[in-house]
Every structure is written in structure tokens, then in C-alpha cells.
Amino acid sequence: MGSVGSVARPSIRPEIPLLLGETKVAVTPMGETLRFAGTLELSGLDLPLNWRRIDGIMRSTRDYLQATEEPKVKEIWRGLRAVTPDGLPIIGPSNQCKNLIVATGHAMLGMTRGPITGKLVADIVAGRDPGMDVSALRVGRFS
């Protein structure tokens, strides 16, 4: 599960997305808000908010952004991340629905793996050779 929070944009604010390396928090300007995202918590299907982690994200952003005012929190949310046992995504045609292509299981690397996943899905849909061996990513490998 990952945690995300959005705050009203402070008077001193970044204009481009940032990755706060030491704290592993992403900061993204979005209209009138700043979105802070971070953490991967292996919690199964346990969905309650982990306030200790959310407080850590908010504290680390204040240190980096040198905030002079307390941020006004607009929303806090979390969601499940698709993680596979072997760490590789699942990409390929469904075994049960012939008109369904599966592309999931990217864990925390969805943004970086997105472009190649999109190319692989396009190749599968078009019936083209993807130019690489994708058998390790097959849909039914855990069944």
C-alpha cells in the first residue's frame, strides 16, 4: 500500500516535480495543490491509514521545502500497489478473456516501466513480435 497527501500550495513552492532522495518522497505541483507521495508498506489487504508514515512524509517535506507556514491538508489517501512474488510485472493476454491484455504488478516502478509496458501491450494487440522474450512476464506463471 502507498500513501499520498495533497496540501494547498504554500506561498513558496516548487514549480516542477521533485524527488526528495533521502526521504523517498515525491512532490508534484498539481494546480492549486502540492501532492506528496511516498512509502510502500507490505500490509496485505489491511487498509487503515498509517498515520506514523503520513506524519513522516509531511515532516520531511517541511524540511526540504523550508516551509514557513503549516500546510493546509486538502486530502490524504492510500491505495494498494500491485506487487508480484517475483518482482516482475505481469504483461500479456488473459488466459480467460481473449479480448483482455493484462499489464499490472509494477509495484513502485509503474512510472519508469510504463513506456516499455505500453510498447509491449501495443505489440501484443497488433500481433507484432515485441522484439524481446517476454515469457517471464506471462499471465499464468503463478497458477
Q: Which of 31, 55, 79 is the last residue of a domain?
A: 79
How many domains are contained in the chain?
Answer: 2
One domain for residues 115 and 63: no
Taking the C-alpha atoms of residue 23 and residue 17, their distance in angstroms, rounded to an integer, is: 15
Q: Are 53 and 2 in contact (CB under 8 A)?
A: no
In a domain, 84, yes or no: no
7, β-bridge pairs? 34, 73
One domain for residues 73 and 98: no
How does residue 92 score in pLDDT terms, banded at 50, 70 and 90? very high
Q: What is the pLDDT of residues 105-114, one digit of tens each?
A: 998 777 788 8
One domain for residues 101 and 69: no
Residue with cell 488466459: 95
One domain for residues 94 and 73: no
Query: From start to end of the chain, where are the E strands?
Result: 2-8, 18-20, 25-30, 33-38, 73-79, 90-93, 101-104
Rg from Cα positions in the chain:
19
Taking the C-alpha atoms of residue 36 and residue 59, their distance in angstroms, rounded to an integer, is: 11
Mean pLDDT of the 122-131 span? 95
Report whether pLDDT(4) > 80: no
CATH number of 68's domain: 3.30.9.10
Q: Are 66 and 13 in contact (CB under 8 A)?
A: no
> Which range marks the domain in which residue 49 is found?
2-79
In a domain, 31, yes or no: yes
Q: Which of 30, 60, 79 is the last residue of a domain?
A: 79
